[in-house]
Amino acid sequence: MKIISQNTAFGGMQGVFAHDSDACKGEMTFAVFVPPQAIQEPRPVLWYLSGLTCTHANVMEKGEYRRLAAELGLIIVCPDTSPRGNDVPDELTNWQMGKGAGFYLDATEKPWAENYQMYTYITEELPALVSEQFRVDMGRQGIFGHSMGGHGAMTIALKNPDRFKSCSAFAPIVEPSTADWSEPALEKYLGADKAAWRQYDACALVKDGARFPEFLIDQGKADGFLETGLRPWLFEEAVKGTDIGLTLRMHERYDHSYYFISTFMDDHLRWHGERLG
């Protein structure tokens, strides 16, 4: 593991690190905030998955999570959103595909399958590295994210309910198999058979029997992607009649930006803190 940077913040350490990834066949970068309590004992870990076009840096620089994470004693891990490098396939004129748009899935189609194994990276490779390098209580894990990362957090939680104790999302893509900005990407990554897409679609997973105790979703009503890309009411409909709890909060005047995310970041950290103990 290569140290890119380390800075002291609120008595803890904000670091950025790089390592060679077997899953993504190249160097991957991620950020970790370690609270001061981790000096004495292993602490719960909260995984934050970013949205389209983002890297680890967006939430690290704009998310305003360190003060409360230090108070609550939460380790925050912020992975990248896709593999990187000159040899990694990309669509240079399409921000919804390729670098910055890994959709937290394991691609099966050429040329994407060689590098775009983000589900395996997030659920297996990076947790193994983090647990080895930091004082983490892997028995207390939560996951959250924004937009594409909200999609990733919700699908990963639904597929791994025994691992994660909490899940929340800011403006998630709840049904990517029918959303205008994700349906073309799923076809390129996974092929034309839409049955293969269901494992990476929160609404489809619930309809197919996947369960998770409860979700918190915050959504801005002034979000330009709300009507055709995000549509949280579809997930609200999907969980009706199930034992899945959902707190869906719709906020007047808030958009899709980190001004929105930073406003409600404390609420999400406290939500996870209560459930992680």
**Residue 185 token pair:** 């990407």
Q: Do 115 and 83 contact (CB within 8 A), yes or no?
A: yes
What is the DSSP code (8-state) at residue 274?
Answer: H
**Is 22 labeled as catalytic in the residue annotation?**
no
Alpha helices by DSSP H, listed for 77-196, are: 118-120, 126-133, 148-159, 183-190
Q: How far apart are CA 132 and CA 123, in angstroms?
A: 15
B/e letters for 7-23, b = 16+ CB within 10 Å, e = fewer, are eeeeebbbbbbeeebeb
**Is 131 labeled as catalytic in the residue annotation?**
no
Q: How far apart are CA 88 and CA 76, in angstroms?
A: 27
Is the bond preceding 111 in cis, omega lying within 30 degrees of 0?
Answer: yes
**Is 256 labeled as catalytic in the residue annotation?**
yes
Q: How far apart are CA 95 and CA 54, in angstroms?
A: 10
Alpha helices by DSSP H, listed for 8-147, are: 57-62, 66-72, 118-120, 126-133
Nearest to 239 by CA among 275, 269, 210, 267: 210
Q: Which of 80, 90, 218, 223 is catalytic?
A: 223
Nearest to 116 by CA among 128, 129, 103, 127: 103
Q: Which of 56, 146, 151, 256 is catalytic?
A: 256
Q: How far apart are CA 16 and CA 2, in angstroms?
A: 9
Main-chain dihedrals φ then ψ at residue 70, nearest 5 degrees: -65, -40
Q: Which of 147, 166, 168, 177 is catalytic?
A: 147
Catalytic residues: 147, 223, 256
